[in-house]
Amino acid sequence: MRMWFLVLAMAGGSLHGEAQDTPQRRLIALEIAWNQAVQLRDGAAVEPLLGNELIYIDYDGTVMNKGQYMTSVRSSALHADQVTNESMKVQVYGVSAIVVGVYRERGTRHGKSYLHRERFVDTWLNRGGAWVCVASQSTLITH
Amino acid sequence: MRDVDAGHGDRGDVDTSKVRRSPGKVSIFRSLLSRAVLLRIFAGALVWLGLASEAARPQSDDESGARTKIMALENIWNYAEKAGNAAALSLILDDAMVYIDEDGSLLTKAQFLEHVKETSPQLQTLVTEAISAHVYGDTALVASTYRVSGVARGKAFQREGRFIDTWLLKNGTWSCVAAQATPVVR
């Protein structure tokens, strides 16, 4: 059940016809799938989206590798009640791409509620036809 | 929706300087060289880097060679930013570059260069450490920690943050297409 969104994302533009399956469309679908999988703490759905060499910098400056990030995804200390993507812009450079976006998240952490608005940059590489994220960084929007 | 397990605290220093990083101990260097001379040095270094790229392999740089060039460009960035030399900095940034500053604001290349000119005089020290470069064909990533101190509006500040820069090899020349800074919250 939890995998449905990832299957849709992997299928790319199949919902709209193969001709419209652009890298931009696919990457946005993968970003949405990633968000939903984290919300559900579904590590199995997140794992194939990430390169093994992932560098992840969280909004508080914490640096994680893929293993550390996957552990945090599965943690029960966090529960995101609502995640809203406000914007995403994809720039494709051949077999690499950059996604810049803003998202808003409301949830509870260690029993305490929070509301974040963050801007992120994700760097994706196309490997054998599959996009994987190799770097992701978020910064709290405080201005 | 990427934040996971880490705690959330205050930002600490709330100075809104747009300067991200640069090496310490460059004040002497800065005082000895005019901006015009610095620009010539940077331009020469860039030409050398570009020619080296062309001579080696224009589209798929050797990985170790590419890493060396990227690190050199990061050093040029640091010196240029600390010196407030936007003209030199402009040479290594892609026209479509996006910069995410410590407060989450999104800056274009032109906006970033303007902020560099405005804020570089505030800096006293700035050090990068734990820098790593990863090359994937014509794409490269640089991740690092930076510490900066200075005086803004009469008030001393000290910050620590982390950044990732994304570089692309275009027509034999590496240029930065995305950079982001995130303050470390303790």
CATH number (domain holding residue B56): 3.10.450.50
User: Under an 8 Å CB criterion, which residues of B touch A?
Assistant: 1-9, 11, 14, 16, 96, 98, 100-106, 134, 136-139, 141, 143, 160-164, 166, 168, 177-178, 180-185
A100 → chain B, closest CA residue: B98
> Can you read off the two tokens belonging to residue B157?
């500040």
pTM over 0.95: no
- Does residue B164 lie within any of the structural domains? yes
For residue B6, tell me if it sits in a domain: no
User: What pLDDT, on the 0 to 100 scale, is given for residue A88?
Assistant: 96
Which residues span the domain enclosing B142?
Answer: 27-183
Residue B10 lies in a domain: no
Q: Residue B128 domain-assigned?
A: yes
The pLDDT confidence band at residue B156, using thresholds 50, 70 and 90, is very high
Could B1 and A34 be called an inter-chain contact, meaning their C-beta atoms sit closer than 8 Å? Answer: yes
Per-residue pLDDT, averaged over A108-121, amounts to 90
How many domains would you assign to chain B? 1
Q: Within a 13 Å sphere around the CA of A29, how many CA atoms are in the beta-carbon half? A: 22
pLDDT for the residue numbered B10: 29
% chain A with pLDDT above 90: 62
Domains for chain A: give ranges and CATH numbers.
4-140 (3.10.450.50)
**Band of the pLDDT at A85, cuts 50, 70, 90?**
confident
Residue B42's pLDDT band (cuts 50, 70, 90): low
pLDDT at B9: 31
pLDDT at A23 over 50: yes
Per-residue pLDDT for A6 more than 70? no
Rg (C-alpha) for chain B, rounded Å, is: 16
Interface test with B, best of A46, A66, A93 (most B CBs within 10 A): A93
Please compute Rg for chain A using Cα positions.
15
Residue whose entry in the numeric block shows the structure tokens 């936007």: B86
Say whether A125 and B136 touch across the interface (CB within 8 A).
yes
Helices (H) and strands (E) in chain A, counts: 4, 6
Query: What is the reported pLDDT for A106?
Result: 85
For the segment A30-47, the average pLDDT, to the nearest whole number, is 92
Cα(A19)–Cα(A16) distance, integer angstroms: 8
Nearest to A58 among B3, B103, B141 (CB): B3
The whole-angstrom separation of Cα B19 and Cα B17 is 5
Under the banding of pLDDT at 50, 70 and 90, the label for residue B46 is: low
Structure tokens at B43: 């331009």
pLDDT digits (tens, 9 = 90+) for B89-143: 999 999 999 999 999 999 999 999 999 999 888 888 878 888 999 999 999 999 9
The residue-averaged pLDDT of A57-71 equals 95
pLDDT, tens only, B62-77? 888 999 999 999 999 9
Q: What is the DSSP string of A106-118?
A: EEEETTEEEEEEE
Residue B180 has pLDDT above 90, yes or no: yes
Q: What is the pLDDT of residue B81?
A: 87
Among A17-26, B4-13, B133-142, the range with the most confident prediction by mean pLDDT is B133-142
Structure tokens at B106: 């999104």
- Closest by CA to B180, choosing from A40, A100, A116, A54, is A100
ipTM: 0.86
- With respect to residue B58, please indicate whether it lies within any of the assigned structural domains: yes
Q: Which residue has the higher pLDDT, A115 or B10?
A: A115
Model confidence band, residue A38 (pLDDT cutoffs 50, 70, 90): confident
> Among candidates B138, B160, B141, B139, which has minimal Cα distance to B149?
B160
B92 found inside a domain:
yes
Partners of residue B160 on adjacent β-strands: B147
On whether any CB of chain B is under 8 Å from the CB of A96, the answer is: yes
